[in-house]
Structure 1
């Protein structure tokens, strides 16, 4: 984990707090990836435009300042291309737990970027925030997400049904 001038960096990816000047790149990536994301992310079924993207990014910033959520936008180091987002949310400071969330631009799937940045985020959660456990919630048929969680050594906790869909809950002790 390397602290850079504008955030953090891994071998290939810059991680930084969302800013208003990210809106166009965020919208381009989201709109291109919406069909792929919508089965897995409820919010991806919403229409997001420049106006509500401004509101969304402002809410991200408020949550970061309040230490309720730590969201990072992702860009490739070399090209500066926007590729997605990772988040620690639902933070319970007394219990020292959080939930991890992530999404990646459809053009950058299966290249190891998400493993690289989620590995960073887990180190960040433990070393910078003092968290002890990170949870992950995914649909039971989201094989890519489950494969990532297993590679990150998350352990299966339980399945639940929500709105007629099976959801798998995983956790990792840091």
Structure 2
């Protein structure tokens, strides 16, 4: 079971099926905002759908194909983050995240993305972390930019969102770069 303390306010941990109602509540409350950027929102119609998502997260964790964790801010579930996938052969992790609209602007997701990047390099021994965000999703793109990720390019029409394609901006961080950045912070 994955549990990772980000700081004194934020904790990442795998969700329990009993938390499906809370997960559905924050998904439903943020539906209009999330739908702009995420393709799965319309498929999440009931608490049972959120429960199925949580159950699936245990399968991907056991198979080591991904890692999905709830974001707990002051002990309250406020979003989801983790690795949408791993490329173990090339030692790459692909970070994904979303946050309840009520909790945006508090720096939570920047702290979470930083912690996941640190975990990827120190615990998982990955060499690279990717974050992809829709070109127009300026809030999501600001996170890897704030953390010092390199903007590596733009993938045209990378994702179908309901009735249109969106381009993705690809951000990358290498283990050696992250170590250098952390050293700069500690100095």
Q: Deviations for 1:87-130, whole angstroms, at most 9, x for unmatched residues?
A: 11220111000110000010110101111111111111111111
Equivalent residue runs for 1:33-52 within 5 Å: 33-52=30-49
Q: Deviations for 1:51-73, whole angstroms, at most 9, x for unmatched residues?
A: 22222111111001111111110
Aligned alpha-carbon RMSD (Å): 1.6
- Name 2:178's counterpart in structure 1: none
* TM-score, length-scaled by structure 1: 0.90
- Name 2:155's counterpart in structure 1: 160
- Name 1:16's counterpart in structure 2: 13
- Name 1:109's counterpart in structure 2: 104
- Name 1:126's counterpart in structure 2: 121
Q: Deviations for 1:12-70, whole angstroms, at most 9, x for unmatched residues?
A: 11111121011011011100011111111111232331222222111111001111111
- Name 1:60's counterpart in structure 2: 57
* Aligned partners of 2:44 and 2:50 also within 8 Å: no
User: How many positions carry a matched residue from both structures?
Assistant: 168
* TM-score, length-scaled by structure 2: 0.84
Question: SS where residue 42 of structure 1 aligns?
Answer: coil
- Name 2:140's counterpart in structure 1: 145
- Name 1:172's counterpart in structure 2: 173
Report whether the alignment pairs 1:7 with 2:8: no
Distance 1:168 1:45 in 2: 24
- Where structure 2 has 5 or more consecutive residues not aligned to the other structure, the ranges are 176-187
Distance 2:47 2:156 in 1: 34
